[in-house]
Structure 1
Amino acid sequence: MSTPLAIVDFVLRRQPDAGALHQLARTISSYLGPSPSLYLSQACYFGSLQLLDWIWDCSCTSTAHRTSTWSLSNFLRSDLHYSRYQFAQSMKVAANRGDWEMVKWLFAHFSDGQVPWEVAAAAAWSGNLPMLQFLLVNDAGRRDVEEGGGQKKREVEAMEREIQSETVSEGNPRGGGEHVVTWGPWVMASAKRGKHSTIVQWLNEYVLGEEEDEQGKDKKREIVAALEDGDDALAKALMPPVLTIRLD
């Protein structure tokens, strides 16, 4: 742990031999800290950023600083594969909880992660537009799209400015590193199942666009589903501009 717990430091200072006991503060704090077998993704279920900070601070940053005893803290920040795995699993938990602050914390602390498709799908299903916007502007895989210019680029930049003003990462608004977001073929279907037509339209405009891969098939499915549900306005909004549709 980088620093001892404030309560431990406070108690030791009030002891007669405070100077001699000061060196025990870190040891006591480590003993009181999270279990060495607690995954960061498991800790995310508690919804406490303070707990995540504690686990993060307890974790060594290189193989040279690993402790002699076995602990997951030996690998969270010093093993690339384990770090990326925990980032992905923790992102799933945060998204399912609808915890945008936790998502921002994970982006700020990890580097070069792959955001699994379940994250965007969970945000779409719950109608969490702020989380989807955050994923969009921080998606390293879409930077080439943003560089294309035009009205859409300006709108995405406006989203980014708004999100930057609220982010937990003051030094780097985009987070700790370049993260690639996997939007997946079912993100639009998730929004539709959650009955969030505005999210469906947002995904169509900013994420799926005119793509003809699995995401394009997802859009086609939702056009058919909207027609079957009698939602003519949504079907029209999803239709490519070069096509027309008769609803009579």
Structure 2
Amino acid sequence: MVRNEELGPELPVPRPLLAVRLVLAAYSIHDSHIVDTTSVFVDSAVEMAFCEACKLNSVALLERIWNGSHPETSPSPADLGPGNGPKWSRRHYLRTDKHYNRFQFQGAIVEAAKHQELEKAMEMVQWLYDHFHGCIVPFGAVSAAASHGHLEILKFFKKHEISGKLGDDRDEIEAEWGNVVRWGRRDMEAAAENNHFDIFWWLHKHAPAPRYLNNVMKSALRDGNLLMLDWIQAHYLARRDGSQNNVGSQDDAGIGDTAESLLSERRFFMADAIIGGQLVALEWLLDNGYDAGDNHCNWVILAALQTNLLDILDWLIETKVVEAGRILNVAAEEGRLDVAKDFYACYWHKICAQHDYPLEPQELWVSQRETLWITSDTMISAYDWLVEHHSF
């Protein structure tokens, strides 16, 4: 131990840096005090935050920071009270203060799980587990491991997790070997988005928790992945008769919360399928009762107009998902006079038969918002055309 006025009293001195020893040896300086003092003076790495040190992919650096910090048997400066402790340094708190210790662990474990190489990532994770106990592995670390395909890390988390409930005071976590793991939120989504479906299934089976799967549903619809759609429906969505699958006995695992989150976005399901140009996904939605609903049909029409998939508009009319007159009106509102004219020519006999057409001129509303492809000229011409042909 040495006293360093800038960092506080009696901080442990790590082994002298090799570079310092070689330079001083070249000048025949071998006195241990000089070597130690010089190494402490030039060694700024020991003051790095653990999460930053983990980015450098060096367990040796983590060891150096850890060994250069006050041991667990020393009092935390926070416990000594204001003005009674040494000058601030991470090394005074890292191992002595449980709150700072847990804070550093959470940032470090996320960075460790992010490493592209599984072997190196696993080495960092194991080192952190060997030195930190009774901490929390945050959602971000689980999602990072899932995103990078690190199934072995997830299995390691599961094997060594200890009990803990979200929202509990961290002081209540028992400091046994192992750490609390926060499963759920976007971990399965991260796995699916990166095509790690083995991890996707593993998380569902071995780590049930409330999850956000909306983007998984969106990707499945845009890709026309019927296998994934069937799986999501079987585990999280309602059947056509309105009954919910797998909810009740597993509701404490978050199945119900995930289903509620998914169903809150059902008005966008058809629009997502259209954006991907997936007629098979549209047919799946219709067969399973997930149409957009009358109040949200405009989202479906807009998606088809923006992707210029006009044949899908014909399909929407034929399957009675939307009315031809609504397509005509939305097309004109969006400045797509070409589409409005085509549908007027093809479907006018159907439009006239609809209960809410023809429209009075004062009922017509044309969007005034600007986009890259709508101009004032097209808006005016679309409005004039609607008034002339679509009202009496």
Asked if residue 51 in structure 1 is aligned to residue 51 in structure 2, the reply is: no
Aligned to 1:134: 156
Relative distance call for 1:204 and 1:219 in structure 2 (3 A) is farther
Contact 1:125 1:190 in 2 (8 A): yes
Once the two structures are superposed, the pairs formed by residues 187-198 of structure 1 within 5 Å of their partners are 187-198=187-198
d(CA) in 1 for partners of 2:34 and 2:91? 20
Relative distance call for 1:131 and 1:42 in structure 2 (3 A) is same
Q: Which amino acid aligns with 1:189?
A: E
Q: Which amino acid aligns with 2:122?
A: W
TM-superposed CA distance for 1:38, in Å, is: 2.2
d(CA) in 2 for partners of 1:4 and 1:84? 26
Q: Which amino acid aligns with 1:134?
A: F
**Aligned Cα root-mean-square deviation (Å):** 3.7
Q: Which amino acid aligns with 1:117?
A: F
Match for residue 88 of structure 1 among 86, 106, 114: 106
- Equivalent residues, number: 207
Contact 1:88 1:116 in 2 (8 A): yes
Spell out, residue by residue over 1:34-90, the C-alpha distance to the aligned partner (whole angstroms, 9 max, x if none).
346421211122111111111111000144598944321111111111111000011
Aligned to 1:4: 15
Task: Determine which structure has greater relative contact order: mean sequence separation of CA pairs < 8 Å that are 6+ residues apart, divided by chain length.
Answer: 1
Farther-moved stretch of structure 1 (222-231 vs 55-64): 222-231
TM-superposed CA distance for 1:194, in Å, is: 1.6
Contact 1:92 1:119 in 2 (8 A): yes
Spell out, residue by residue over 1:149-176, the C-alpha distance to the aligned partner (whole angstroms, 9 max, x if none).
xxxxxxxxxxxxxxxxxxxxxxxxxxx8
Aligned to 2:38: 28
Structure index of larger Rg = 2
Asked if residue 231 in structure 1 is aligned to residue 225 in structure 2, the reply is: yes
TM-score, L = length of structure 1: 0.67
Aligned to 2:179: 179
Contact 2:75 2:96 in 1 (8 A): no
Aligned to 1:157: none
Q: Which amino acid aligns with 2:70?
A: C
d(CA) in 2 for partners of 1:50 and 1:77? 17
Contact 1:123 1:129 in 2 (8 A): yes
Contact 1:34 1:55 in 2 (8 A): no
Match for residue 125 of structure 1 among 136, 147, 154: 147
Please state whether the residue corresponding to 1:183 is helix, strand or coil.
coil
TM-superposed CA distance for 1:96, in Å, is: 2.5
d(CA) in 2 for partners of 1:30 and 1:4? 9
d(CA) in 2 for partners of 1:91 and 1:30? 27
Aligned to 2:91: 73
Match for residue 111 of structure 1 among 121, 128, 133: 133
Contact 1:44 1:90 in 2 (8 A): yes
Q: Which runs of 5+ in 1 are unaligned?
A: 143-175
Q: Which amino acid aligns with 2:69?
A: S
Relative distance call for 1:10 and 1:139 in structure 2 (3 A) is same
d(CA) in 2 for partners of 1:52 and 1:74? 15
Contact 2:69 2:92 in 1 (8 A): yes
Aligned to 1:150: none
Relative distance call for 1:25 and 1:231 in structure 2 (3 A) is same
TM-superposed CA distance for 1:140, in Å, is: 1.3
Q: Which runs of 5+ in 2 are unaligned?
A: 1-11, 78-84, 165-175, 236-243, 247-283, 288-392
Please state whether the residue corresponding to 2:207 is helix, strand or coil.
helix
Q: Which amino acid aligns with 2:196?
A: H
Aligned to 1:159: none
Q: Which amino acid aligns with 2:156?
A: F
Contact 2:139 2:183 in 1 (8 A): yes
Contact 1:204 1:219 in 2 (8 A): no
